[in-house]
Chains A and B, each alone.
Chain A
Amino acid sequence: MSFISLVLIAGLFGFLVLQSVPILAEQKWDFLLGRDWWAGEVYGALPMIYGSCMVTGVASLLVLPLALGGAIFTSEFLSAKQRLWVKAMMELFAGITGIIYGLLGVALMAGWVKDSFGLIDGNTILTAGLLLGIMILPTILTLAEDALHAVPGCYRDTSLSLGLTKLQMIKSAVIPQALPGIAGAIFLGLGRAMGETIAVMLVIGGLDKIADPWYDLFAPAQSIASKLGREAAEAIGSGLQWSALMALGLVLFFMVMFLTMVGNLFLKRVR
């Protein structure tokens, strides 16, 4: 019965491969490297790959200081009772789903971004990245905190008895020990951000183009997941467009799998 997880992963992967054969046979490497996506004519995945990387990158810039600072403070400076409160709150907040963030994004945040930066349209890479950052914050914070908290007390006692200050102890004894777990938490969080569909779809602007210059965060873009979310319904089930979408799904599978694998590799060293 355990093989069901193997069957499911293999099935998912096999299906995506099988269904993306037509488009890959037709366009070969141009599919991955192409910069244009016109349904019915040409399918290029590069703008979507770029979009996925950009929103995930922006999200990580926002979330890392908050999540890691929060994790260190919660694990090292708060009392046991306060810590449990923070943990419970983070688990609750981790339950807020993509559609709620999407609603916040459409109804409020896009407007704020537009007004604060004087833009014509608030649906940008920045908006999507900010939203994703808030979304994965509780997950990364609580997992990184777990890693810090799991460092055995003897390391702390030894450092303190050597005359280290609390800060030195955290820096040179606790964090190095917890680093694999922290990295694992970050990678898992980023994988989640990369695969999020709804929240991103509603605020990214839906333009299949690489911004010029590429680091322009105020430009609209498209991530792989948002592209799939937008076009799956119209292309459903057949044709070259469907095959192109499945190939995009395959690319997303690889990108997320890579992040998850790296994350697991780190997490395994903790256990």
Chain B
Amino acid sequence: MSQSDPLEKFVRGLLGVLTLLAITLLVVIFGIVFWKGAPVIDWEFLTQASSNFGASGGILYQLAGTVILMAGAVAVSLPVALGTALFQTEYLKSDRLKKLFRNLIYSLNGMPTILFGLVGYMIFGVYLKAGVSWLTGTLILAVMILPTLQVSFQQAVEALPEKYRDAGMALGLSPTAMVYSVIIPQSVFGIITGVLLGLARAAGETAAIMFTATTFSGILLPQTWTDPVPTLQTHILVLAQEALNPQAVAHAWGAGLVLLSLTFILVAGALFCRSKMQMESER
């Protein structure tokens, strides 16, 4: 009956086509990056320093710079995010305050990253005298990924089955003991999910660090707190604009594929951990 109605069929078909189109579009994007980037990538590309202004050589130090920034950002952000999430789930009782903090963290999440770059540079770079450096970049990225980490942690803690808490309380645990011996160990998959998503976000960020933390050439690895670093993101940014030099553009695609693979692995890991977490909470 309903299935044979021509209008039903048409709308259903139309929705199907739109879905297919959306998926195809994104698969094509990935396909292009892969197709353009794959020929450039080999062992030398990953293990050599770049030369000739990025048009030859590899991306070893750019990759290292990206890893330094993202790992540093998570290292700074992790304790803060964990503390905030636990405070809001375990200690904060007022629903209105909870709502306020939730709205704030979502607003922070939606902020354009370039604003973090501008203001972060003034605070960390100028007032704290870190200048254009990996330290400034790390701190800016740490602020930027704070909402990602906190929301993940909070969701993980809130998803914990009530019986764990009940058992802890029945044993007479204080709130602090409860956090250390029940909440944190039981929400470990959620914490890993948040960390991986935070790493992915920091890895891809360009706008906030391009004028606050990075250099195109001259420095390989930072020797002091106030050295800038080369990064994959800014490397691509510079090379992409060398339209007249096909070799440079080819290297940009190679670096792009490496960056894309890095974020895909991190996000895929996060998805896997989240599915683990859901299974855990359904037990």
Please list the residues of chain A having a beta carbon within 8 angstroms of any beta carbon in chain B.
1-2, 4-6, 8-9, 11-12, 15-16, 19, 65-67, 69-70, 72-74, 77, 86, 88-104, 106-108, 134, 137-138, 141, 165-167, 188, 191-192, 194-198, 202, 225, 228-229, 232-233, 236-237, 245-246, 249, 252-253, 256-257, 259-261, 263-264, 268
Asked if B167 is at the interface (CB within 8 A of a chain A CB), the reply is no
What residues of chain A lie closer than 8 Å to B224, measured between beta carbons?
none
Asked if B105 is at the interface (CB within 8 A of a chain A CB), the reply is yes
State in angstroms the CA–CA spacing of A95 and B200 once bound together.
7
State in angstroms the CA–CA spacing of A197 and B2 once bound together.
48
User: What's the minimum C-beta distance from A51 to chain B, rounded to whole angstroms?
Assistant: 14
Asked if B183 is at the interface (CB within 8 A of a chain A CB), the reply is no
Asked if B26 is at the interface (CB within 8 A of a chain A CB), the reply is yes
- Chain B stretch 67-98: residues in CB contact (< 8 A) with chain A: 80, 83-84, 87-88, 92, 97
Most buried by B among A67, A236, A237, A256: A236
Determine whether the beta carbon of B263 is less than 8 Å from that of A2: no
What residues of chain A lie closer than 8 Å to B83, measured between beta carbons?
1
What residues of chain A lie closer than 8 Å to B240, measured between beta carbons?
102-103, 106-107, 202
State in angstroms the CA–CA spacing of A167 and B17 once bound together.
16
Please list the residues of chain B having a beta carbon within 8 angstroms of any beta carbon in chain A.
1-2, 5, 7-8, 11-12, 14-19, 21-23, 25-26, 29-30, 32-33, 36, 80, 83-84, 87-88, 92, 97, 99, 101, 103-108, 110-119, 121-123, 125-126, 143, 146-147, 150, 200, 203-207, 210-211, 233, 236-237, 240-241, 243, 249, 252-253, 256, 259-260, 263-264, 266-268, 271
What residues of chain A lie closer than 8 Å to B249, measured between beta carbons?
107
State which of B26, B200, B203, B241 has its C-beta within 8 Å of the C-beta of A89.
Answer: B26
Q: A2-B87, A197-B207 are in contact. Are A104 and B29 (CB under 8 A)?
A: yes
State in angstroms the CA–CA spacing of A98 and B209 once bound together.
13
What residues of chain B lie closer than 8 Å to A252, measured between beta carbons?
112, 114-115
CB closest residue in chain A, given B257 = A100
Contact residues of A: prevailing secondary structure: helix
What residues of chain A lie closer than 8 Å to B243, measured between beta carbons?
106-107
What residues of chain A lie closer than 8 Å to B106, measured between beta carbons?
260, 264
State in angstroms the CA–CA spacing of A96 and B25 once bound together.
13
What residues of chain B lie closer than 8 Å to A232, measured between beta carbons?
114, 117-118, 211
User: What's the minimum C-beta distance from B159 to chain A, rounded to whole angstroms?
Assistant: 15
Most buried by B among A1, A66, A101, A202: A1
What residues of chain B lie closer than 8 Å to A196, measured between beta carbons?
112
What residues of chain B lie closer than 8 Å to A228, measured between beta carbons?
114-115, 118
What residues of chain B lie closer than 8 Å to A261, measured between beta carbons?
107
State which of B146, B207, B264 has its C-beta within 8 Å of the C-beta of A5.
Answer: B146
State which of B33, B112, B203 has its C-beta within 8 Å of the C-beta of A104.
Answer: B33
